[in-house]
Amino acid sequence: MKLLIINGPNLNMLGLREPDIYGRQDFAALENFIRETCEAQGIEAELFQSNHEGAIVDTIQGAYGRIDGIVINPAAYTHTSVAILDALKAVSIPAVEVHLSDVTKRESFRQISYAGLACVKSYIGLGFEGYRQAILFLKNYLEGRENT
């Protein structure tokens, strides 16, 4: 099983960036956490981070026929990008949305998630743990689909 984990803009600034909201651990720590979680589950992981909407769209398109599931934190593009939503729909790869912070308790402009409309599940406000839960959920979801 191969998963693609996508992180959007400014997540590479973790640790420095608004630590009271996003925590003090840096992006390298998040990537290690994701890699270790996947390794423990025998899952092959491809990690991608970009500050550019088109690069994220290209990466989702490039997953077609190669990747079994996608974990995505589109960051600010969550709330603006119909292009990322359309790319997820176009490839039809099961996807799970993750947000480190509890966006439901933040500004009104964060209350819409376009990408989330194409996701089978969302983990919100759990910090790094949300990525672990998303990976475990996708593993079960994909194994369940294989058995049907």
Any catalytic annotation for residue 79?
Answer: no
Any catalytic annotation for residue 99?
Answer: yes
| Minimum CB distance to ligand DQA, residue 64 (Å) | 24
Out of 99, 114, 123, 131, pick the active-site residue: 99
Nearer to ligand DQA, 21 or 44 (CB): 21
| Minimum CB distance to ligand DQA, residue 42 (Å) | 27
> Going edge to edge, which strands form the sheet with 69-73?
44-49, 2-7, 69-73, 95-99, 121-124
The residue ranges that bind ligand DQA (CB under 6 A) are: 10, 73, 75-76, 78, 99-101, 103, 110
Nearer to ligand DQA, 105 or 145 (CB): 105
| Minimum CB distance to ligand DQA, residue 38 (Å) | 19
β-sheet bridge partners, residue 95? 70
SS (H, E, C) the chain: CEEEEEECCCHHHCCCCCHHHHCCCCHHHHHHHHHHHHHHCCCEEEEEECCCHHHHHHHHHHCCCCCCEEEEECHHHHHCCHHHHHHHHHHCCCEEEEECCCHHHCCHHHCCCCHHHHCCEEEECCCHHHHHHHHHHHHHHHHHHHCC
Nearer to ligand DQA, 20 or 146 (CB): 20
| Minimum CB distance to ligand DQA, residue 110 (Å) | 4
Nearer to ligand DQA, 27 or 141 (CB): 27
Q: What is the set of active-site residues?
A: 22, 99
